[in-house]
Amino acid sequence: MTGRDSRADVGFTPSAGRTLGVEWELGLVDPQTLDLTSRAEEVMARVAGDGAGGTMASAPRSTITKELLRNTIEIVTGVCETAEEAGSQLREGVGAVRDAADELGVLLFGAGAHPTSRWEDQEVTPGERYATLIDRTQMWGRQMVIYGVHVHVGIRSAAKVWPLVNALLAYHPHLTAISASSPYSGGRDTGYASNRTMLFQQLPTAGLPFQFETWEEYRRYLHDVFTTGVVDDLTELRWDIRPSLRLGTIEVRAFDGMSRVEDVTAVAALVHCLVTHLEERLDEGRLPAALPPWHVQENKWRAARYGLDAIVIADAASREVHVVDDTLALLDRLEPVARRLGCAGPLADVERIVRGDAGYRRMRAAVEAADGDVHEAVRVALVPGSGAEQNGRP
């Protein structure tokens, strides 16, 4: 479900229904050093059948694509009807990538950021788009050694996009806290559950979106940023939650990377159900008022800093709630929606994460158990089955 929205194409192409798509970024790791390794082209060639290993035994329904850095591959589903269908496609895709990586002696890593690798050592993928990004953003762009999960949900009317985006921002901290998996940087604990969240927003067109009230207001904004050269392509607006005009979706990009298919499937189900629930309330004229931008910004920081221990602001009256309690209550509200969408199982799996299985907690526990060896945070974030159990300590 990837695609570029060009400067000349600013019309929203409505989705035929509440479809779902997922993008899952993974790092490539050397099994001896556990550092990142720039071998994405080799892995992709083997998946495509162009490498020495020949064609993969079965072609996945998902697509394997490159990313900004040569240490990264991305698995992208097709257009799916349910989270379970998306999960099935991701499982096939990661299986093909894992087979290719195993042949090359490379491990797969899934988290918001690599705990020990230096950004200065990473190689940028060749291409005009990436070269332009690095030329413009310089050191901040080079530091983007980060990984995420992006979830698209189809929207059938442009008029609904910004009311829904604004409503979703009230749940931004919940999504961040659930997926937080980047507590380490350069071998040190940053003190944040999701350091990726704070790092990524340093790019000039990343971070929280503006809260537009209407589609026409958004179109005027696009005219301004194109006219002044802020961006030349809509994909350069790398907001945490954004519309994809060509695909006819809302894309939620607030998640840290993850190492397990079931976790990615769970958050996909959560977003699918949440967007559906909010759209139904919008249709009924019962959509809650958007959270003030200053509360949204504060909530984002709290979730990045404290993860599942965060206390977040729930409404314009400044009522505060524990993010875990509020997420569990949200899961209860979404249960009927999940049954209708056929994703009750994956949605219920979110509770497992919320009750203590978040990536940042597993990483910190592993490091503590190893007397401070941060390499254990890498090990705990390796994709299961990618040869991790066969490799000794560096």
Mean pLDDT, residues 235-258 taken together: 95
**Does residue 10 fall inside a structural domain?**
no
The average confidence (pLDDT) of the chain is 89
Which range of 117-126, 167-176, 202-211 scores highest in mean pLDDT? It is: 167-176
CB count within 10 Å of CB 177 equals 31
CA distance linking residue 23 with residue 86, whole number of Å: 10
CB count within 10 Å of CB 170 equals 21
CA distance linking residue 118 with residue 185, whole number of Å: 8
**Does residue 290 fall inside a structural domain?**
yes
pLDDT at 194 over 90: yes
**Does residue 283 fall inside a structural domain?**
yes
**Does residue 5 fall inside a structural domain?**
no
pLDDT band at 65 (very low <50, low <70, confident <90, very high): confident
Mean pLDDT, residues 177-192 taken together: 97
Model pLDDT, residue 202: 86
pLDDT at 43 over 90: yes
Model pLDDT, residue 121: 66
**Does residue 392 fall inside a structural domain?**
no
CA distance linking residue 99 with residue 47, whole number of Å: 8
Q: Could you give the angle at the alpha carbon of 180 between the alpha carbons of 179 and 182, nearest 5°?
A: 135
How many Å separate Cα 334 from the centre of its chain? 21
- CB neighbours of 60 closer than 8 A, spacing ≥ 6? 47, 75, 89, 92, 93, 95, 96
Higher pLDDT, 256 or 205: 256
Mean pLDDT, residues 20-48 taken together: 93
Which structural domain range is residue 81 located in?
Answer: 20-383
CA distance linking residue 221 with residue 250, whole number of Å: 18
**Domains contained in the chain, number:** 1
pLDDT at 390 over 60: no
Q: Domain containing 310 — which CATH number?
A: 3.30.590.20
CA distance linking residue 117 with residue 12, whole number of Å: 40
**Does residue 393 fall inside a structural domain?**
no
**Does residue 7 fall inside a structural domain?**
no
CA distance linking residue 156 with residue 135, whole number of Å: 37
Q: Is the pTM of this model over 0.95?
A: no
- CB neighbours of 329 closer than 8 A, spacing ≥ 6? none
**Does residue 360 fall inside a structural domain?**
yes
- CB neighbours of 348 closer than 8 A, spacing ≥ 6? 331, 338
- CB neighbours of 23 closer than 8 A, spacing ≥ 6? 1, 2, 74, 75, 76, 77, 149, 150, 151, 152
Kindly report the three-state secondary structure assignment for every residue of the chain.
CCCCCECCCCCCCCCCCCCEEEEEEEEEECCCCCCECCCHHHHHHHHHCCCCCCCCCCCCCCEEEECCECCEEEEECCCECCHHHHHHHHHHHHHHHHHHHHHHCCEEECCCECCCCCHHHCCECCCHHHHHHHHHHHHHHHCCCECEEEEEEECCCHHHHHHHHHHHHHHHHHHHHHHCCECEECCEECCCCEHHHHHHCCCCCEECCCCCCCHHHHHHHHHHHHHCCCCCEHHHCEECEEEECCCCEEEEEEEECCCCHHHHHHHHHHHHHHHHHHHHHHHCCCCCCCCCHHHHHHHHHHHHHHHHHCEEECCCCCCEEEHHHHHHHHHHHHHHHHHHHCCHHHHHHHHHHHHHHCHHHHHHHHHHHCCCCCHHHHHHCECCCCCHHHCCCC
pLDDT band at 58 (very low <50, low <70, confident <90, very high): very low
CA distance linking residue 63 with residue 2, whole number of Å: 10
pLDDT at 267 over 80: yes
